Amino acid sequence: MHATSSSRPPIVVLCGSTRFWEQFAEATLYETAAGRIVLAPGCNLRQPHPLWATPEKADRVKRMLDTLHLRKIDLADDVLVVNPGGYIGDSTRREIAYARRLGKPIRYTHPADGSDHD
C-alpha cells in the first residue's frame, strides 16, 4: 500500500466493461484487502431494472453514469482496468485516455494490447 499526502488509504477506481460484473466484484475484494478505497461502477445496465427499463431512461442513465465515472477517476489515486482476456471497449478506452491526461497511474487485471498500456 502506498502512502498518500493526507495519510488516508489510497483510492483506486475500477474501469472496464460491466459485462465483467463478477470480475469487478473480485477486483473490489482484492483491492479492499490490500487496504485501498475502491470506487467502481455502481450500476450494471446489462441487468434489467426499472430505473433503465425504457430506451429513453437507459440513455439518460448511461450518460449520467459516464459523467459520474469520470468524477470517480478525478478522485482516484490510480486506475485499475478490469479487462479479462485483454478486452477494452470504447467507453473504457475513453476513460483510460482521460485518466492519462490527468496523469493517473493505470494498472490492468490482464495484459492489454500495446495501444492501451502505459
Tens-digit pLDDT profile for residues 88-102: 999 999 999 999 999
pTM above 0.85, yes or no: yes
| For helices 90-101 and 55-75, angle between their N-to-C axes, nearest 10 degrees | 30
Query: Which pLDDT band, with edges at 50, 70 and 90, does 116 fall under?
Result: very low
